[in-house]
Amino acid sequence: MAVIDRVPERSRSCATSTEAVHAGENRARPDHALTCGVAQTATYTFNDTADLERYMRGDDGEPNRTEYGRYDNPTVRELEHRLAALERSEDAVAFSSGMAAVAMVLFTFLKSGDHVVLFRDCYRKTRQLVTSTLSRFAIEHSIVPPSDLEALQRELRDNTRLILSESPSNPYLYCVDLDRLARVARAHGRARVVVDSTFATPVNLRPIEHGADLVLHSATKYLAGHNDVLGGIVAGSGALVSLLRDMRGAFGSILDPHAAYLIGRGLKTLSLRVERQNQTAAALAEVLAGHPKVARVFYPSLADHPSRKVALEQMTGFGGVVSFEVRGNRAAASRVVDACRLAQIAPSLGGVESLVEQPAIMSYFELDDESLQSIDMSSSLVRLAVGIEETEDVISDVTRALEQA
Ligand SMILES: *Cc1c(COP(=O)(O)O)cnc(C)c1O
């Protein structure tokens, strides 16, 4: 397999918004094209046998060269370089979806007899993968309450190898004190910290700077930003990323080149989009907090949010997701969702379009109110993932829906 090149040094000193446009770009384009284009190829050619032999020995002097599309692709590579620069990591590796990224992290860094710790508020499919699939491979797990680092410390065992956290988490936006988490992991000595930072984006938080070993994104959400493509990406040290890259080659979970192009294009406007989404969500949260039909609002900047202090310390913005409990029951919340006109009913978040959903129905349809309560999920909760529409339009859509419902 090809020798993997490093992130270009020159991309390291700029502001996030500038890096989101330029970092990792290869200047030597065919025909002097400005953009990277889509390297739509399954394989790569060699001039002659001597050329192939030089490549196999690793002395062909072409660090970017690869042999086969399951291992690498230049369009994918450019996206990886750009995300590594944004996350201040040595390298990054892109996958066909966020869940493919999660699965590859689990399969790369765990083996039978190992133990992994998750927080209860992690992405539901991640939890199911650990509890249903990894348990078939004799990998143990513990699940601790949201952002509870004392509970986490108590669960650490000799065989704990991975701590998988998410900050902010879905749908209540709990934030984990990442500096403290890293200290706990270092004191234990053998557990790597992985942070699913999908909700934060590198615009609002850089987990590596807070001691995380790996940071993971569902690129489907904010990074791509247009609700039109799936992808996942993991950033970290060159050594850890190259282990993931080898696993990706074996599982065939590399990101498609066209998807990489779309995500790379989306990334160029990441800062603009996330700044607008931060601003709209914070304003919406304030309005909802004073609304008579709303029982409770969850957004990290609000005075009564349990993670407010941690969020203010480690984040520069709090993202585009606002969750709120409608006064009344499950049906009352459904009426509010149905009365939204601008926000469409759909799962997902982080795109330019505002989306609304009721987690009790979208994510936990098989659970009744009592079972929902046992996992601290309210049946009258509504999650609004704001897009980049005018702030006032998003707010009036929701407030009008509340009046009508
Ligand atoms: C969506 C999401 C995932 C899964 O990503 P896909 O791209 O849908 O596979 C993982 N973690 C979080 C926090 C997510 O929001």
> What is residue 321's three-state secondary structure?
strand
Boundary-marking domain end, from 239, 268, 297: 268
Residue 3 has pLDDT above 50, yes or no: no
Residues in the chain: 405
Question: Is the same domain home to 262 and 276?
Answer: no
Decide whether any atom of ligand 1 lies within 6 Å of the 165 Cβ: no
Decide whether any atom of ligand 1 lies within 6 Å of the 253 Cβ: no
**Which range is least confidently modeled, 28-42, 101-115, 313-327, 380-394?**
28-42
Boundary-marking domain end, from 241, 268, 295: 268
Question: Is the same domain home to 320 and 376?
Answer: yes
Q: Tell how far the Cα of 91 is from the centroid of ligand 1, in angstroms.
A: 21
* 279-320 pLDDT, tens digit each: 999 999 999 999 999 999 999 999 999 999 999 999 999 999
Average pLDDT, the chain: 95
Residue 282 located in a structural domain:
yes
Question: Is the same domain home to 250 and 281?
Answer: no
* 116-130 pLDDT, tens digit each: 999 999 999 999 999
- Rounded Cα–Cα distance for residues 387 and 405 (Å): 22
Residue 3 located in a structural domain:
no
Q: Which domain holds residue 94?
A: 17-268
Q: Which helix or strand (DSSP H or E) is residue 382 part of?
A: strand 381-385
Question: Is the same domain home to 215 and 341?
Answer: no
Residue 98 has pLDDT above 90, yes or no: yes
Residue 380 has pLDDT above 90, yes or no: yes
What would the two tokens of residue 124 be? Answer: 């539901």
Residues 6+ apart with CB under 8 A from 117: 141, 142, 143, 144, 152, 155, 156, 160, 162, 163, 164, 191
Question: Is the same domain home to 122 and 250?
Answer: yes
Decide whether any atom of ligand 1 lies within 6 Å of the 95 Cβ: no
Query: What's residue 11's pLDDT?
Result: 47
SS3 content of the chain, % helix, strand, coil (to 5): 45, 15, 40
Residue 24 has pLDDT above 80, yes or no: yes
Residue 238 located in a structural domain:
yes
For residue 205, the domain's CATH number is 3.40.640.10
Residue 11 located in a structural domain:
no
Residue owning the nearest CA to atom 7 of ligand 1:
98
Question: Is the same domain home to 290 and 335?
Answer: yes
Question: Is the same domain home to 245 and 276?
Answer: no
Nearest atom in ligand 1 to the alpha carbon of residue 101 is: 9
* 150-198 pLDDT, tens digit each: 999 999 999 999 999 999 999 999 999 999 999 999 999 999 999 999 9
Residue 8 has pLDDT above 80, yes or no: no
Confidence of residue 83 (pLDDT cuts 50, 70, 90): very high
Query: What's residue 305's pLDDT?
Result: 98
Residue 250 has pLDDT above 60, yes or no: yes
Residue 6 located in a structural domain:
no
Question: Is the same domain home to 234 and 307?
Answer: no
Residue 254 has pLDDT above 50, yes or no: yes
Decide whether any atom of ligand 1 lies within 6 Å of the 19 Cβ: no
Q: Give Cα separations from 220 to 126, 173, 364 (angstroms).
A: 16, 19, 21
Q: What is the mean pLDDT of residues 367-379?
A: 91
Decide whether any atom of ligand 1 lies within 6 Å of the 205 Cβ: no
**Per the structure, how many domains does the chain have?**
2
For residue 364, the domain's CATH number is 3.90.1150.10
Nearest atom in ligand 1 to the alpha carbon of residue 198 is: 13
Question: Is the same domain home to 97 and 145?
Answer: yes
Question: Is the same domain home to 274 and 261?
Answer: no
Confidence of residue 229 (pLDDT cuts 50, 70, 90): very high
Q: Which helix or strand (DSSP H or E) is residue 260 part of?
A: helix 257-267
* 351-365 pLDDT, tens digit each: 999 999 999 999 999
Quote the pTM value.
0.95
What residues are annotated to the active site? 70, 123, 196, 221
Residue 2 located in a structural domain:
no
Confidence of residue 6 (pLDDT cuts 50, 70, 90): very low
Q: Tell how far the Cα of 199 is from the centroid of ligand 1, in angstroms.
A: 9
Give the residue, out of 198, 256, 263, with the most ligand 1 atoms within 8 A of its beta carbon, to mutate for a pocket test: 198
Decide whether any atom of ligand 1 lies within 6 Å of the 218 Cβ: yes
Is residue 171 reached through a cis peptide bond, with omega within 30 degrees of 0 on the bond before it?
yes
Residue 193 located in a structural domain:
yes
Nearest atom in ligand 1 to the alpha carbon of residue 232 is: 7
Boundary-marking domain end, from 268, 300, 320: 268
Question: Is the same domain home to 207 and 347?
Answer: no
Residue 281 located in a structural domain:
yes
Question: Is the same domain home to 168 and 189?
Answer: yes
Q: Tell how far the Cα of 255 is from the centroid of ligand 1, in angstroms.
A: 15
Give residue for tokens 């410390």: 153
Decide whether any atom of ligand 1 lies within 6 Å of the 99 Cβ: yes
Residue 256 has pLDDT above 50, yes or no: yes
Nearest atom in ligand 1 to the alpha carbon of residue 220 is: 7
* 230-240 pLDDT, tens digit each: 999 999 999 99
Confidence of residue 13 (pLDDT cuts 50, 70, 90): low
